[in-house]
Structure 1
Amino acid sequence: MDFWRATSLVQVEVHEGRGVALLKINRPEKRNSLSQKLIDTLIAAIDLVEKDDTVKVVVLTGSRAAGPFSAGADLSEMLHLTTAEAHKIQYLKDLNEAVTSMRKPIIAAVAGFALGGGFELAMMCDTIYAAEDAKFGLPELTVGTIPGAGGTQRLTRILGKQKAMDMILTSATVTGKELYGFGLVAQVFTADELVPATLAAAYKIASRSAPVVKLAKQAILNGMCFFRFAVSGSSLLTFKAEETHLEAGLMLERSLYYSSFALEDKTEGMAAFVEKRQPVFKDK
């Protein structure tokens, strides 16, 4: 095994001869929250393994077997971020593009919890394996904003409007076992079994032809963009399904997300979180 930046915010472990890279988010003292420095490090790690011809499959997890995967965005960094600043730096867009532009399969292995941006990061991956008792949720409304890294778009596409609306508006958390039943999580294990089982699946995928694996991934993702149905006669119309408009949805989401930074309640919600107290929202 070859380690790159073993003490870094993101540990990279290449399993030589097996075609698999294991990326470990390593900020346990902050519950693996996604600071910009961590995001930059993760993007660099993704770029590293994407360019490494010996790596055919990537597994993303937390650095501790019991979790967490990630608590989401580092609110102490976001507290004073304005709408204009968020638009200027394209906050979170860089992470989404780094993960979703990968040609190699990337599997999220989630133990402990994946909340907010952590859950969104897991959903960016091609598939999710989870501990049965892992907690997932999008609690952004409790801190005066909305999900801004694909949560409103991907969760709705996977679970449907009713369940997604309920989870986001109530800030409910659900377990890995529940999400397995909903089809959002591909497989569930005990926390101790999670990473070994995920690696076993990654090894199996890596044993296939790399170009064929990439083609299969491309076919699945592109296929999500269209649906066909027959109309009267021999006419066959091809329509772009909702997934075709994911980027448009992400743009809308980011715009609304950034606009929430102008609210007093955003500042209050995040300040309350940092100060470990209950927020007092003013609905403005």
Structure 2
Amino acid sequence: MSLPDFEGLDQWSLAASQKDSSTGSNDVRIGIDRTAAVAILQLSRPAKRNALTQAMMDHLIYVLDQLDQDGDVRAVVLMGTKKGAFSAGVDISELTQLTTGDAHERRFLSDLNGAFERFSKPIIAAVEGLALGGGFEVALSCDIIYAAENATFGLPEVSISTIPGAGGTQRLVRTLGKYKAMELILSRQTISGQELAQRGLVSRAFDANEDVVLEAKKLAARIATYSRPVVNMAKQAVLAAENNHLEAGMAVEKQLYYMTFSLNDFKEGTSAFLNKQPPEFKHH
């Protein structure tokens, strides 16, 4: 399957799906493999290295909200340009138009953060090429990152006299530690996908002979074979560790664990295991 052309995928027209079709854009592409229950989202502004405009972010927010309600989709892959850039960050020409008051009034980037935070299904970022500034932060907002070994990550905002504003400082400290995060941000250093995999931020890094997007889709398809509510609960439990101390996180985990016992899929999964048969999950 040729993912850049979305061959074999059910292509979703963003403009047709919005109430105001005049705001439609080809800068975010959507393809759905309904057999695998996987959606592929592509940031598609290659001439600008997928720099994020406000319109692109609005479209991405809309699409995530719609996919979260789509019962036929159980996992998502977010990609940039195949063998090109994931995203070079927020479009600087738009950024220069913002004032502090405008940013507060528009809650700039907060809506995008919120869309990822409330999305209940697993999202895998497939990163090739550049993932800088807001592009890196979008990848960090995903649940899993697959990357090319030679992909370039960084938060270079200090070089244009601003700082990361979509969670970059907070998430890097949690994953790389204060000292490495401080060095990367204050010196605008970049770091490779290979090194981030060694440090545990990138789940897997792939060499030039491997297809990052295809590998991400394989993972998404595997996750999608499991019970949708159970996968969502597992995601909630893992994310609870980010925002709670250990005791509180353990309490969340226990509550979610107990909730799985009431699911029909729990009965199906355990029965299939005992009878040495493949489960047939109904996703409830």
Alpha-carbon distance, 1:47 to partner: 1.6
* AA at the equivalent of 2:163: I
Q: Report if the CA contact (8 A) 1:59-1:198 is conserved.
A: yes
Please point out which of 54, 73, 76 is paired with 2:90. 73
TM-score, normalization by structure 2: 0.78
Alignment of 1:161-176 (within 5 A): 161-176=178-193
Equivalence for 2:41: 23
Match of 2:75 among 57, 64, 71: 57
Which of 223, 230, 233 is the aligned partner of 2:241?
Answer: 223
* Matched residue, 1:101: 118
Gaps of 5+ in 1: 229-237, 241-284
Question: How far off is 1:239 after superposition?
Answer: 6.9
Instruction: Please name the residue that 1:132 is paired with.
Output: 149
- Partner residue of 1:112 out of 117, 129, 133: 129
Q: Deviations over 1:74-115 (max 9, x none)?
A: 110111311111111010001110012100011111000100
Corresponding residue for 1:4?
12
Once the two structures are aligned, what percentage of the paired residues are identical?
49
Give the CA deviation at 1:46.
1.1
Q: SS of the counterpart of 1:174? A: strand
For the residues of structure 2 that align with 1:225 and 1:23, how far apart are their CA atoms?
Answer: 27
Letter in 2 for 1:87: H
In 2, Cα distance between equivalents of 1:125 and 1:4 = 21
SS for the counterpart of 2:47 is helix
Matches within 5 A, 1:229-248: 238=247
* CA distance in 1 between partners of 2:147 and 2:174 (Å): 20
Aligned counterpart, 1:187: 204
Q: Which residue of 2 aligns with 1:250?
A: none
- Across the two proteins, how many residue pairs are aligned to each other? 231
In the other structure, the counterpart of 2:56 is 38
Shift of 1:171: 0.3
User: Aligned match of 1:211 in 206, 211, 229?
Assistant: 229
Q: Hey, what's the Cα distance between the residues in 2 that align with 1:102 and 1:69?
A: 20
- State how far apart, in whole Å, the 1-side matches of 2:117 and 2:128 are: 22
Deviation digits for residues 126-172 of structure 1, max 9, x if unmatched? Answer: 11110010000000000010001101111111110000000000000
Give the C-alpha shift of residue 28 in structure 1: 0.7
Q: Does 1:86 align with 2:94?
A: no
CA RMSD in angstroms, aligned pairs only = 1.6
Judge conservation of contact 1:34–1:74 (CA < 8 Å) in 2.
yes
The answer for the alignment partner of 1:201 in structure 2 is: 219
TM-score by length of 1: 0.78
Q: 2:10, 2:138 → 1: CA distance? A: 25
* Other-structure match for 2:140: 123
Are the equivalent residues in 2 in contact too, given 1:67–1:110 (CA < 8 A)? Answer: no
SS of residue matched to 2:146: strand
- The residue correspondences of 1:139-158 to structure 2 (distance < 5 A) are 139-158=156-175
**What amino acid maps onto 1:116 in structure 2?**
G
User: After superposition, what is the alpha-carbon deviation per residue over 1:220-243, rounded to whole angstroms, capped at 9, x for unaligned?
Assistant: 111333334xxxxxxxxx478xxx
How many Å apart are 1:48 and its aligned residue? 2.0
Q: Which one of the candidate residues 176, 192, 195 is aligned to 1:159? A: 176
Distance apart, 1:29 and its partner CA: 1.1
- In the alignment, the residues of structure 1 paired with residue 45 and residue 160 of structure 2 have an alpha-carbon distance, to the nearest angstrom, of 22
Bigger relative contact order, structure 1 or 2 (CA pairs below 8 A, ≥6 apart): 1
Matched, 1:47 2:65: yes
